[in-house]
């Protein structure tokens, strides 16, 4: 949601994507396959992929580790879990009817409502028969003899397909840090991203929360309201803006249901896939009083609009500092105890260079008598014990320990599957120096694999539902193109992939994103290569790069037909 940085109009998309496509005619028929396409995951990307693949006449089936649809919104049931994109934007745009039927109840929908929406979509479009739940794909091996993938599940199933669509989400591989003594605590421990479905009774309990990213910042006010005492262990203070969530008015619902063209435009014509509200001016073009008015106005409106007040706060340190200092002033105003406020004020990174958080009463929570902030920069954790956490200054007794410690973002969900490409290398090996992919959707050495919202695509810097729609549309058009020509293999070219990776990096250098130790860079995981993973060039430039590639017959990809005499000969026979 931070991709509107007013980057140079000409982003110098790599010209050398224009490689000759190695197209050879299909040998004959299709092989015996379980499905033409296996989709990994039934979150928003996977559901839309199933819908579009079926519409285009492909046999497709999804495997989902959860017991239901919704991906992130199936798992993240922690108290206060809420989307940081406005409901009217954070929804599908592929169906006018769906849009006209659905009424969001809140400005920023909470997890239960977003999950209901995903379930509604799955039922309305009859997608459930195409999904096997409670089944994790553990490995997938590509066979270049017949251009197929053999997939294995944790339920002992093995099946073959032609194409693999990884709809695994960018933030699904949870991360619990190896803090000394992390397995000693005898009370319940919960990661926010794997919150028990039956809920957790925190009443009367002494609760500890480690982590103050988006999840911690949403959960902390809710936990404080329920627990006897809450101790927050903060390593790095974070910028957070008031969501000012509220019920949708009946007029807003009426407009949202009818303004389908507006919904399409927000996805297609904006860089972040959300409605734009910026002044269009550089921050320093306004005198300080005018700037303060603009910031105050957006702070009062709530949501992430404040981040888009000026076009240059994402790439100019001085401009950024005007916004950062405004938010720091708000934190000092809200938090009553000056020492606690000083610990909560972020000073080590530009605002927006880590994902901006949205909260409902986060900073005011520290004015409660039952909340203690432990500043780990002053008193680092020595060990987790059977009964709590010891820092080098004190022991904190706890009944419940919550890890709001985030994810092995973007690459983790893919590399935790044992994906083996044409030469037997695993994706984890190939990406050990950092992820490389063409357009964030295909990886050299891994033919017939598509990574929805993968590293190298706008992904988490865009409205992720809309980014998934764009990727799925591109993949289905590509598969249709291959089918029409009798082709059975597509692989990203290594040179084109390198050119795209260089472009992704170059665009990031125009911004302040490289100034923070963020999960965008892999900096939250010890030993993970530091590389800015999402594409910050924005959805408009990105969509154009994808569309141009498709229109030109997929330069940068090698396309091929089934090897003559290979097993890729018999038609798809097994039912889905």
Q: Which residues, 6 or more positions from 314, have their beta carbon under 8 angstroms from its beta carbon?
A: 2, 4, 5, 307, 320, 352, 511, 512, 513
Smallest gap from residue 223 Cβ to ligand NA7 (A): 14
> What values do phi and psi take at 86, rounded to 5?
-65, 145
* Cα-based distances in Å from 431 to 410, 441, 444, 469, 526: 12, 14, 11, 26, 15
Give dist(CA 463, CA 266) in Å, integer. Answer: 10
Structure tokens at 365: 């929570």
Smallest gap from residue 238 Cβ to ligand NA7 (A): 6
Smallest gap from residue 248 Cβ to ligand NA7 (A): 22
Nearer to ligand NA7, 83 or 131 (CB): 83
- What is the dihedral angle through the alpha carbons of 140, 144, 147, 148, rounded to the nearest 10 degrees? -20
Give dist(CA 122, CA 473) in Å, integer. Answer: 18
Nearer to ligand NA7, 79 or 211 (CB): 211
Give dist(CA 356, CA 1) in Å, integer. Answer: 9
Binding residues vs ligand NA7 (CB under 6 A): 171, 177, 179, 192, 210-216, 233, 235-236, 355, 376, 404-407, 519, 524
DSSP designation for 248: P
Smallest gap from residue 405 Cβ to ligand NA7 (A): 4
Can you name the residues that pair with 534 across neighbouring β-strands?
Answer: none
Q: Are strands 158-166 and 206-210 parallel, antiparallel or unpaired?
A: unpaired
Nearer to ligand NA7, 213 or 458 (CB): 213
Nearer to ligand NA7, 335 or 487 (CB): 335
Nearer to ligand NA7, 171 or 476 (CB): 171
Question: Do 396 and 273 touch, CB atoms closer than 8 A?
Answer: no
Nearer to ligand NA7, 310 or 407 (CB): 407
Structure tokens at 413: 């969900």
Q: How many CB atoms lie within 10 A of CB 572?
A: 18
Structure tokens at 449: 């694999």
Smallest gap from residue 219 Cβ to ligand NA7 (A): 9
Smallest gap from residue 418 Cβ to ligand NA7 (A): 25
Q: Which residue has the tokens 């030993």?
A: 527
* Cα-based distances in Å from 243 to 114, 272, 299, 341: 17, 18, 9, 20
Structure tokens at 532: 């800015």
Structure tokens at 374: 């432990």
Nearer to ligand NA7, 520 or 554 (CB): 520
Distance of CA 176 to the CA centre of its chain: 18
Nearer to ligand NA7, 213 or 456 (CB): 213
Smallest gap from residue 295 Cβ to ligand NA7 (A): 22
Nearer to ligand NA7, 11 or 374 (CB): 374
Nearer to ligand NA7, 345 or 404 (CB): 404
Smallest gap from residue 533 Cβ to ligand NA7 (A): 13
- What is the dihedral angle through the alpha carbons of 374, 380, 385, 388, rounded to the nearest 10 degrees? 0
Smallest gap from residue 308 Cβ to ligand NA7 (A): 17
Can you name the residues that pair with 451 across neighbouring β-strands?
Answer: 166
Smallest gap from residue 52 Cβ to ligand NA7 (A): 25
């Amino acid at each position: 949601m931070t991709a509107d940085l007013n980057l140079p109009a000409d982003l110098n998309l790599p010209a050398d994507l224009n490689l000759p496509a190695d197209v050879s005619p299909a040998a004959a028929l299709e092989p015996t396959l379980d499905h033409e396409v296996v989709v990994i995951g039934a979150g928003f990307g996977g559901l839309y992929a199933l819908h579009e693949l079926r519409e285009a006449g492909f046999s497709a089936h999804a495997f989902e580790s959860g017991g239901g649809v919704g991906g992130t919104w199936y798992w993240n049931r922690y108290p206060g879990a809420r989307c940081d994109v406005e409901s009217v934007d954070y929804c599908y745009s592929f169906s006018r009817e769906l849009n006209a039927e659905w009424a969001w109840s809140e400005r920023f929908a909470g997890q239960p409502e977003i999950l209901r929406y995903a379930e509604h979509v799955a039922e309305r479009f009859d997608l459930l028969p195409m999904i096997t739940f409670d089944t994790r794909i553990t490995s997938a091996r590509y066979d270049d003899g017949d251009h197929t993938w053999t997939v294995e599940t944790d339920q002992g199933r093995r099946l073959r397909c032609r194409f693999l669509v990884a709809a695994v989400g960018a933030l699904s591989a949870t991360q619990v840090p190896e803090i000394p003594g992390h397995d000693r605590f005898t009370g319940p421990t919960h990661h926010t991203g794997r919150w028990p479905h039956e809920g957790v009774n925190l009443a009367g309990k002494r609760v500890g929360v480690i982590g103050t990213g988006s999840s911690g910042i949403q959960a902390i006010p809710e936990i404080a309201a329920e627990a006897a005492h809450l101790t927050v262990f903060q390593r790095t203070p974070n910028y957070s803006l008031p969501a000012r969530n509220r019920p949708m008015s009946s007029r807003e619902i009426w407009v949202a249901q009818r303004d389908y063209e507006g919904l399409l435009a927000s996805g297609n014509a904006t860089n972040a896939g959300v409605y734009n509200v910026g002044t269009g001016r550089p921050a320093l073009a306004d005198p300080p009083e005018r700037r303060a008015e603009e910031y105050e106005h957006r702070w009062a409106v709530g949501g992430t609009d404040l981040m888009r007040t000026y076009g240059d706060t994402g790439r100019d340190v001085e401009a950024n500092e005007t916004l950062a200092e405004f938010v720091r002033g708000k934190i000092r105003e809200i938090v009553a105890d000056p020492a606690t406020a000083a610990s909560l004020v972020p000073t080590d990174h530009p605002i927006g260079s880590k994902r901006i958080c949205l909260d409902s009463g986060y900073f005011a929570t520290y004015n409660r008598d039952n909340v203690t902030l432990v500043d780990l920069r002053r008193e680092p954790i020595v060990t987790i014990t059977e009964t709590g956490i010891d820092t080098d200054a004190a022991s904190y007794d706890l009944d419940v320990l919550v890890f709001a410690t985030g994810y092995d973002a973007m690459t983790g969900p893919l590399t935790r599957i044992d994906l083996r490409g044409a030469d037997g290398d695993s994706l984890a090996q190939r990406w050990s120096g950092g992820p490389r992919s063409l357009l964030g959707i295909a990886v050299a050495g891994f033919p017939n694999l598509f990574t929805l919202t993968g590293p190298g695509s706008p992904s988490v810097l865009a409205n992720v539902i809309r980014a998934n729609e764009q990727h799925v549309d591109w993949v289905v058009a590509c598969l249709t193109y291959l089918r029409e020509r009798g082709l059975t293999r597509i692989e990203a070219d290594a040179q084109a992939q390198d050119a795209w990776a260089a472009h992704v990096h170059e665009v990031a250098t125009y911004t302040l994103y490289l100034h923070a130790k963020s999960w965008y860079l892999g900096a939250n995981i010890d030993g993970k290569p530091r590389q800015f993973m999402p594409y910050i060039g924005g959805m408009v430039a990105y969509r154009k790069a994808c569309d141009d590639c498709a229109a030109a017959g997929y330069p940068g990809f090698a396309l091929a037909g089934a090897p003559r005499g290979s097993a890729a000969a018999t038609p798809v026979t097994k039912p889905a």
